[in-house]
């Protein structure tokens, strides 16, 4: 497992293209400290799913914001944008899956 510090959050890469092939961009556990964020970004040539394991936050789906919590799932298709801010007092942890188009 490779652990990467990306700005305010930590990405624990579990499986990637080397292990699974060309269609998998990333499968990782992401840990976002309180008041930190995964910055808003666009997906080009891939799509991404978040599965919230613990915590709560504000998810920005192409400019439409909504609250997410443990057990919620988000989907960002190719060409769309998203971001996530931890609005809670504890770590926000989720699984991230990126599949290449």
pTM: 0.93
d(CA 50, CA 29): 10
| C-alpha to C-alpha distances, 86 to 41, 58, 95, nearest whole angstrom | 16, 7, 15
Residue 12, token pair as written in the block: 């624990």
Per-residue pLDDT of the chain (101 residues; tens, 9 = 90+): 889 998 899 999 998 888 877 889 999 999 999 999 999 999 999 999 999 999 999 999 999 999 999 999 999 999 999 999 999 999 999 999 999 99
**What domains lie within the chain, and their CATH numbers?**
2-48+67-82+89-100 (2.60.120.10)
């Amino acid at each position: 497992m490779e652990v990467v510090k990306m700005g305010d959050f930590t990405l624990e890469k579990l499986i990637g293209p080397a292990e699974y092939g060309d269609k998998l961009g990333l499968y990782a556990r992401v840990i976002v400290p309180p008041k930190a964020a995964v910055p808003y970004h666009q997906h080009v040539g891939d799509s991404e799913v978040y599965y919230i394991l613990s915590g709560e936050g504000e998810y920005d789906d192409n400019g439409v914001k909504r609250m997410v919590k443990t057990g919620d799932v988000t989907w960002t298709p190719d060409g769309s944008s998203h971001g996530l801010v931890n609005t809670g007092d504890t770590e926000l942890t989720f699984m991230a899956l990126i599949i290449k188009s």
